[in-house]
């Protein structure tokens, strides 16, 4: 439901990092999103398309890595996938479970080019 | 355009990869830490109150103010898309209230709360409630600088809601089952089923059952609040001498970590 503000933050970060590294054209952006964030990937892509218009990332490809949730049992130490958000250890049945994956929300990296005035 | 993968690179240009690894909510989190320092400088314990629209957040706050006004100085920040109605309801009880109208935003963020603090007399408060926009999805993702998350589930909702909206129930330090005065009329809502649904997403620990209308169960809730305020006061005394406000100094509390947990949690 707040895909736009998330992608707006991504654009700010992207421009900041591109400027700092002298990149003038961004060709690819890699975003990592945990499924527990409740963000709709199609909407993220739609917002990205709107936000990159007239920016240094206007032709960039957006890669989204969707991370499935995983947990760690404090009782028996098992690591396991959480398919339906049931926070019980499938090995010992314990309910003391820490979420280890699925809450990610970051820009991993981006690709870009340093164009000289002659290229542009 | 590159013919291999469709990216924007043209032949002959050198594509570089820049590693970022930065959280997209980092700016909000930084501001939330800043807001938390405002609270800690004044020894104010702040609570993020979340639920569906209509679960009884404002009514609960009204009942809480009435029950606690002799013991604690309370302030309220109200979040809604539109209107000043909820802040007006709170002000009738003689406590300071600020209204944030978000317009289209489905949640409060740290910037909105920071701006609302301008009118909040923190030096004169012990406890601040921030009533988030009624929504069980988005508010869970935004740290607004509070010390604890309280989530309400009213008995007029489905008793399987915790499983349907696990992220917010998981983030709660305390869950309140509200409007229990209506239970006799709602045979489809089974409190035991609601509690089982909560255990599934939160682990052990029962919610507090209460009714803001009749006052039933309110003592356990106000007792929890008093204990939280007292504990927080030990960490951040209300000495009337706020620390030098260092903007670069980040507070260590993460999102959703109160100092203690609910009774039985």
The answer to whether the CB atoms of B2 and A1 lie below 8 A apart is: no
Tell me the C-alpha distance between B207 and B153, whole Å.
9
Q: Which residues of B touch A14 (CB under 8 A)?
A: 20
Tell me which residue in A2, A9, A96 faces B107 most closely, judged by beta carbons.
Answer: A2
Residues 8-37 on A with a CB inside 8 Å of B are: 9-10, 12-14, 17-18, 21, 23, 25-28, 36-37
Q: Is the per-residue pLDDT at B215 higher than 80?
A: yes
Q: Closest residue of A to B142, CA-based?
A: A2
Q: According to the model, what pLDDT value does residue B251 have?
A: 44
Alpha-carbon distance of B259 to B254, in angstroms, equals 11
DSSP helix/strand/coil, A27: strand
pLDDT tens profile A92-113: 987 788 889 999 999 999 999 9
Do the beta carbons of residue B63 and residue B43 sit within 8 Å?
Answer: no
Total residue length of chain A: 120
Within a domain: residue A120?
Answer: no
Q: Which residues of A are annotated as a binding site?
A: 2, 73, 76, 89, 92
Cβ-proximal residues to B214 (8 Å cutoff; 6+ apart), any chain: B181
Residue A13 inside a domain? The answer is yes
Residue A97 or B261, more confident: A97
B113 contacts B29 by C-beta, under 8 angstroms: no
Residue A118 included in any domain: no
Identify the band that residue B262 occupies on the pLDDT scale cut at 50, 70 and 90. very low
What tens digit of pLDDT does each residue of B199-214 get? 888 877 789 999 999 9
| Residue B193: closest CA among B157, B219, B152, B168 | B157
**What is the rounded distance in angstroms from the CA atom of residue B81 to the CA atom of residue B134?**
9
CA-based nearest residue to B213, from B64, B54, B48, B53: B64
Could you give the number of structural domains in chain A? 1
In a domain, A6, yes or no: yes
Q: What is the second-level CATH architecture of the domain B26-233?
A: 3-Layer(aba) Sandwich (3.40)
CA separation for the pair B149, B47 (Å, rounded):
6
CB–CB contact A61 B105 (8 Å): no
Q: Has residue B148 got a pLDDT over 80?
A: yes
User: Which among A13, A87, A114 has CB closest to B22?
Assistant: A13
Return the bridge partners of B97, or none. B76
**Count of A-B CB contacts under 8 Å:** 122
Q: How confident is the model at residue A86 (pLDDT cuts 50, 70, 90)?
A: confident
Nearest-neighbour CA in chain B from A32: distance (Å): 9
**Residue B257 confidence (pLDDT) above 60:** no
Structure token digits, residue B186: 């709602």
CATH number of the domain at A72, please.
3.30.2320.80
Q: Is B128 left (phi over 0), alpha (psi -120 to 50) or beta?
A: beta
Domain contains A25 = yes
Q: Which residues make Cβ contacts (< 8 Å) with residue B94, sequence separation at least 6? A: B69
C-alpha atoms less than 13 angstroms from C-alpha of B90 in its C-beta half-sphere: 25
Cβ <8 Å between A87 and B13? no
User: What's the per-residue H, E or C state across chain B?
Assistant: CCCCCCCCCCCCCCEEEEEEEEECCHHHHHHHHHHHHHHHHCCCEEEEEECCCCCCHHHHHHHHHHHHCCCCCEEEEEEECCCCHHHHHHHCCCCCEEEEECCCCCCCCHHHHHHHHHHCCHHHCCEEEEECCCCCCHHHHCCCCCCEEEEEEECCCCCCHHHHCHHHHHHCCEEEEECHHHHHHCCCCCHHHHHHHHHHHHCCCCCEECCCCCCCCHHHHHHHHHHHHHHHHHHCCCCCCCCCCCCCCCCCCCCCCCCCCCCCC
Range of the domain at A50: 2-113
CA angle A63–A69–A74, rounded 5-degree value? 145
- Closest approach of A77 to chain B, Cα-based (Å): 16
List residues of B whose CB lies inside 8 A of any A CB: 1-2, 5-9, 13-28, 105-107, 109, 135, 137-138, 141-142, 163, 166-167, 170, 199-204
Minimal-distance CA residue of chain A relative to B2: A27
Q: Which pLDDT score, from 0 to 100, does residue B206 have?
A: 86
What is the distance between the alpha carbons of residues B29 and B41, in angstroms, rounded to a whole number? 18
Please say whether the beta carbons of B131 and B78 come within 8 A. Answer: yes
Structure confidence by residue, pLDDT tens digits, B11-59: 567 899 999 999 999 889 999 999 999 999 999 999 999 999 999 999 9
How many residues are listed for chain B in this entry? 265
């Amino acid at each position: 439901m707040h895909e736009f503000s998330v992608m707006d933050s991504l654009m700010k970060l992207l421009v900041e990092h591109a400027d700092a590294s002298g990149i003038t054209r961004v060709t690819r952006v890699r975003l990592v999103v945990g499924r527990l964030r409740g963000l709709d990937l199609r909407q993220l892509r739609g917002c990205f398309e709107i936000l990159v218009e007239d920016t240094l990332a206007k032709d960039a490809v957006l890669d989204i890595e969707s991370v499935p949730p995983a947990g760690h049992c404090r009782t028996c130490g098992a690591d396991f996938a959480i398919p339906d958000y049931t926070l019980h250890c499938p090995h010992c049945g314990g309910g003391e479970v820490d979420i280890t994956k699925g809450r990610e929300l970051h820009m991993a990296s981006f690709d870009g080019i340093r164009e000289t005035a002659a290229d542009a | 355009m590159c013919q291999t993968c469709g990216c924007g690179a043209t032949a002959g240009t050198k594509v570089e990869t820049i590693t970022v690894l930065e959280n997209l909510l980092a700016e909000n989190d930084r501001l939330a830490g800043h807001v938390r320092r405002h609270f800690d400088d004044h020894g104010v314990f702040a609570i993020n109150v979340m639920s569906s629209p209509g679960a009884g957040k404002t009514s609960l706050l009204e009942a809480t103010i009435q029950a606690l006004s002799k013991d604690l100085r309370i302030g309220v920040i109200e979040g809604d898309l539109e209107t000043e109605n909820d802040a007006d309801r709170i002000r009738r009880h003689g406590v300071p209230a600020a209204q944030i109208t978000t317009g289209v935003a489905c949640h409060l963020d740290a910037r909105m709360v920071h701006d609302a603090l301008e009118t909040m007399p923190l030096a004169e408060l012990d406890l601040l409630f921030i009533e988030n926009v009624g929504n069980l999805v988005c508010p869970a993702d935004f740290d607004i600088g509070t010390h604890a998350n309280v989530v309400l589930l009213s008995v007029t909702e489905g008793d399987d809601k915790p499983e349907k909206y696990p992220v917010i129930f998981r983030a709660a330090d305390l869950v309140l089952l509200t409007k229990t005065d209506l239970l006799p009329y709602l045979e489809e809502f089974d409190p035991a089923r609601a509690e089982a649904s909560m255990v599934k997403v939160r682990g052990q620990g029962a919610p507090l059952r209460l009714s803001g209308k009749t006052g039933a169960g309110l003592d356990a809730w106000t007792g929890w609040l008093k204990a939280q305020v007292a504990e927080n006061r030990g960490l951040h005394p209300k000495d009337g001498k706020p620390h030098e406000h260092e903007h670069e100094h980040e507070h260590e509390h993460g999102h959703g970590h109160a100092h203690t947990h609910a009774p039985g949690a």
